[in-house]
Structure formats: structure tokens, C-alpha cells
Structure 1
Amino acid sequence: MFNPTRDQVRQFFTEAWHKHKAGGVLTSLETMAVDLMREHPEYHADLEDPEIANADFSVEQGRTNPFLHLSMHLAINEQLSIDQPPGIKAAYQSLLATRDHHEAAHIIMEALGEAVWESQRLGTPLDTEKYLDLIRRHATSR
């Protein structure tokens, strides 16, 4: 299993963005990442700033960590592509009935963050049923 360091993740995103801006040839994973980066213009300056690539993003700063955010998008895309956990694809489709794909992904991201936080807090495996339930509740809340 691939388990990159924080620096490797940040390097991946900044290099993919640089290659994209320079018109370079991208791998399929870089293409997926660039597509996500293009949907987040608020991160473009961060991706071009070497200082940001080394920055810490504490809650107290009130800034979203662009690398974590983009990584979560990639993870969610992977989950949807293989329907893992089983049922996430259907839950996503339910969200799309009332939202665009990006807003739906952000709802899933929020649910994933909550499920991971709870798993870490309790020292238990990720509760995939709770994760899916959080997503489904949003699908029926509009």
C-alpha cells in the first residue's frame, strides 16, 4: 500500500500543478489531481508558493490545508470509482439529485473527516456504516 509522507504529498501536488502550467505531460493520477486543483482556484497561489509547501496549517490559523483538502478529494474519487465502502456510489448519486458534483464531494469529505476523527478519538476502525449514514442524511436533508 502506498503511504506517502506529508512532504511527498505536497511535492506531488505542487509538481503536478507546475507541469500543468508548463504544458507538460501528466500521468493519469496527476491529471486527476490537476482537474481537482482547477476546481479550487483559491489554492492556485498556494501551489505555486514554495513556502506554503512547507507550512503548517493549524486550526487556529483558520486556513484550510490545500494539500489535505485535495488529498481527500482524490481519496473520495477513488472510493467512488470502486464503490468502497459498498454503497458510497449510491449515496453520492443521491446527493447529485440536488447538488453539483463538487458540492456533493465536499459533503462526503465532511462525513469522512467526522468518521476518521471519531475513529481516531475512540481508537477503533473506521465505522463505514456511520460514514455512509452521514452522507445519506445530507442526501435527504434538502
Structure 2
Amino acid sequence: MWSTDRNTMRAVFYDAWRHFKEQTPLTGVEALIVEALVAHPEYQPLFDDGRPSETIDPTAGSGTNPFLHLGLHIAIAEQIATDRPPGVASEWQRLQGLWQDAHRARHAMMECLEETLWEAQSRGIAPDDSAYIERLRALGTGGRKK
């Protein structure tokens, strides 16, 4: 999955969905992709034809890039599994318990991650793990509205 070529990266999403539909074993990252796709049926038709297309505009109509959105789901799942940066897993537990909605909690975390990544990219620096964790801690406390 880790490539600099957009079509190669996108092919992993198509392969994961095809493997799921064919009920063949999934790799670790494929399982994460499928979990995110199952939670987002609005994206499934894009993957139903089974092959990536260079001509597809994934944001047409919705304004959301499903590859980016699904990739953020994967990033959050990996962060939770590894507790990287430290504290992210406990924030996940808190948010999931607070809202009783895992998908909502992931989406809120994804917004914090997007903000942290945007900030780093715009400044040309590495993402600030402390700022990210503080954004997560503010969720559900009145510091941020979700």
C-alpha cells in the first residue's frame, strides 16, 4: 500500500474490496480498508467495478475524496492499535465511551488529525504530537463541538 504512485495506492483499496466480496482472506491493511468501507456504503459503488481508473474523479458530487477519508480511518485505527502518539488510545477509549458511537469518535479524531497535518504541512514542519493529543482531549469537553 505504501507507494508514491497514486494509482498503485488506490489499487490496494480496490483489491481489498474485491477480496471482501469474493470472501477471500484479507491482509491486515485490507481488513482496515474493508472495515472503513463497510461503515461508508456511499463509497462502495466506486469500488464495485473492481479496478482503479485514472479518469475517476473521486470527489465528484460529494466534494470528499474517499481515498483520503478511508486513509484517515486507517491512520486512526493504526494509531489506536499502537498508541502512537502516546495517549491516543486512551483518548479513543474516552471518546468512544462518551459518545457510545465508535464511528463518530473516529470521525472526530480524524478531524483533529487533519488539522494537525494541515498545520504541519503549511508550516513545513513535522506534525506536533502534543498539539494533536491536546486537540483530542478537547473533544467532548466543551473545548470543541462535535
Q: TM-score range by the shorter chain?
A: 0.7 to 0.9
**Distance in 1 (alpha carbons) for counterparts of 2:80 and 2:113:** 13
Q: Name stretches of at least 5 consecutive residues in structure 2 with no aligned partner.
A: none
Give the match for residue 114 of structure 2. Answer: 113
- Between the aligned partners of 2:21 and 2:97, the Cα distance in structure 1 is 34
After superposition, give the CA deviation of every residue in 1:20-58 in whole Å (9 maximum; x if it has no partner).
112222223212221221111010101124787433456
What's the C-alpha RMSD, in Å, of the aligned pairs?
2.2
Unmatched tracts of structure 1, length 5 or more: none
- Partner Cα separation in structure 1 for residue 42 and residue 71 of structure 2: 16
Paired position in structure 2 for 1:36: 36
CA displacement at 1:5 relative to structure 2: 2.7
**What aligned pairs does 1:22-61 form with structure 2 within 5 A after superposition?**
22-49=22-49, 53-54=53-54, 55-57=56-58
Aligned residues: 140
Instruction: Compute the TM-score of the two structures, normalised by the length of structure 1.
Output: 0.86
Equivalent pairs: percent with the same residue?
36
Q: 1:41 to 1:104 in 2, by over 3 A?
A: same
Distance 1:52 1:25, change over 3 A: closer
Give the deviation of 1:93 after TM superposition.
1.4
Q: Give the Cα separation in 1 of the matches to 2:102 and 2:4.
A: 27
Call closer, same or farther: CA 1:139–1:40 in 2, change over 3 Å: same
Which deviates more from structure 2 when the two are superposed, residues 127-136 or residues 20-29? 20-29
1:104 deviates by: 0.6
TM-score normalised by L of structure 2: 0.84
Question: Which runs of at least 4 in structure 1 moved beyond 6 Å after TM superposition?
Answer: none
Q: Compared with structure 1, are the counterparts of its residues 53 and 38 closer, same or farther at alpha carbon in structure 2 (3 Å cutoff)?
A: farther
Tell me what 1:139 maps to. 140
1:81 aligned residue: 81
Letter in 2 for 1:92: W
Q: Using the TM superposition, give the Cα deviation of residue 3 of structure 1 relative to its aligned residue in structure 2, in angstroms.
A: 4.1
